[in-house]
Each structure stands twice: as C-alpha cells, then as structure tokens.
Amino acid sequence: MLEVKHLSKDYGGITVIRDLSFTVNAGERRVILGPNGAGKTTLFHLLTGVEKASSGSITFAGNNISKMNAVERARVGIARSYQKNNLFEHLTIRENLMLAAAAATGKSRWFFRDVTNQADMKTRIEETAEQVALTDQLDMMVSAVSYGNRRQLEVGLALATRPALLLMDEPTSGVGPAMIDTFHQLLETLPRDITILIIEHDMDLAFSIADHITVLNFGEKVFEGTPEDTRGNPSVRQIYLGNGDETYGASNDHA
C-alpha cells in the first residue's frame, strides 16, 4: 500500500529524516512513535507532498508518487489531519466538512450555491460526522464547540475527502482522558478500507490501536514491530525513559 525507501530530508545541512525505509500494508493501523523533534511531522510533510524529500522514494498503491505535489497526492487518496487546529471558526461543523469534501471533489465552484441539495454530498457529510462522533454538533459553530470536538473535526475534515490513506498527527494532543476514549472508539470503528498512519503520544492508545509501531529517533528508524515487541524493547524504553521527556515518562508510568 505504502512503501517508503531510503527517504531523507535535510534542512540547510541538518538531516531531519535519515535513510528511512518502511512498508505499510493496506488496511493497517501503523503508529509512529518518537520523542519531540524525532522527525515525525516532517515525515508526514514528505508523505503528503507539503515538503519535497532530499532523496529516496515513496510508492503508494503501486505508483511512485515521489514527484507529485500535495494536490496530486490528495487526489490519489492521501489525506492528513493536523497537529494544530486548522478550522474555520465562524462556520458550522457541517460547513467545515462540506468545504473539505467539496475541495476534494473539485466541485467548489458550485459549492456555495447548492451543494446542500446534493444528496450524495449530504450523505457523505453525515456519514463523516458519524465516523467522528459529531452528529449532534453538526450545525454548531466551530467557535462554540469544545476543544475535543475540534480535534474530532480535524479528523473529520480528512475523512470527508474519502481517503485511502489517512495520516493523523497527534489527534489527541491536549485532550483529557474522556476524549482519549472517544478517539479510541473512533479509531477502532473506522473502516479497514482506510489505511492509517498515526503519530500518537498517548501510549495506551498507541499500543491498543496499532497493528505495528515504527519508532523514530533523530530522524532514523530505531525500531519496528508489534505493540508487544515495542513495549518490551530495551532501546525503545531507553528513548522514552532516558531522555527526561515528561509526556512519555508520564504515559509510561501508566502503561
């Protein structure tokens, strides 16, 4: 489904991703772990075409997409949700989802006129809202909903494009334990025809949803395996427990 080979990214002489190779199977849930600055978000920039790799290749559904720009990659079915909120505050959740879906179908020209009458679009929006547990909030203004709901909507915007590959950058960052449960359910109920790569700081969530985990440190892959293997791996434990990072330390204490 997704094959990354010898991928590297330099910023002005500093290597942020170094000779990274990995493969993700169709339908898989792959968690990317790594301490702050490990290169996780940069990897997503490279996969979505927001940034160009310095070297290496990316193959998606059998096609080399390395030279495609972000718009072309979205068109072949790669979508992402952001680490920081990226929403239209003064539109409703429904309108935000419609904009995302309309942009993806290239039908934004008629969008403002009568997209709400388009049955397929309406169905798509309502399905997406259900997938991210926002059905009850569909007609609320984004500025009026909770921070957690906004994080759900972030994922919804990506899902509204009907992606084959969904990249999620820390969907639970800044949310409380109840909302982490909501995300847990949300992720578990997403259909398996969507392949998912997720950067997740909550260890319990990461370990429970992942089929496989890839661990990055200083831009390099330092480990890859099942959640069970990852948990028991000494060098992974060293990275999380040895660097004084509070987020990981705290999460590990609960694990």
Ligand X SMILES: Nc1ncnc2c1ncn2[C@@H]1O[C@H](COP(=O)(O)OP(=O)(O)OP(=O)(O)O)[C@@H](O)[C@H]1O
81 binds Mg ion (CB under 5 A): no
- Contact between 24 and 197 (Cβ < 8 Å): yes
41 binds Mg ion (CB under 5 A): yes
Q: Tell me the CA distances in angstroms from 141 to 67, 93, 102, 157, one per residue in order.
A: 38, 6, 19, 15
16 binds ligand X (CB under 6 A): yes
Cβ proximity to ligand X: between 50 and 76 the closer is 50
243 binds ligand X (CB under 6 A): no
Instruction: Enumerate residues 42-101 that contact ligand X by CB under 6 A.
Output: 42
146 binds ligand X (CB under 6 A): no
**What per-residue string of b and e applies to 97-136 under the rule 16 or more CB within 10 Å gives b?**
bbbbbbbbbeeeeebeeebeebeebeebbeebbebbbbee
The CB-nearest residue to Mg ion is 41
197 binds ligand X (CB under 6 A): no
- Contact between 245 and 239 (Cβ < 8 Å): no
Q: Which stretch binds Mg ion (CB under 5 A): 15-23, 34-42, 56-64, 244-252?
A: 34-42
Helix (H, G, I), strand (E, B) or coil at 171: coil
34 binds ligand X (CB under 6 A): yes
Q: Which stretch binds ligand X (CB under 6 A): 36-44, 61-69, 127-135, 137-145?
A: 36-44
Residue indicated by tokens 């578990």: 188
Cβ proximity to ligand X: between 42 and 48 the closer is 42
Cβ proximity to Mg ion: between 142 and 199 the closer is 199
End-to-end, the C-alpha distance of the chain in Å comes to 31
Among 29, 30, 33, 41, binds ligand X (CB under 6 A): 41
Q: Total binding residues for ligand X by CB under 6 A?
A: 10
Q: What angle do CA 14, 174, 135 make, to 5 degrees?
A: 120
β-sheet with 14-24: strand ranges across: 14-24, 2-11, 55-60, 63-64
Q: Which spans of this chain sit near ligand X (rule: CB under 6 A)?
A: 11, 16, 34, 36-42
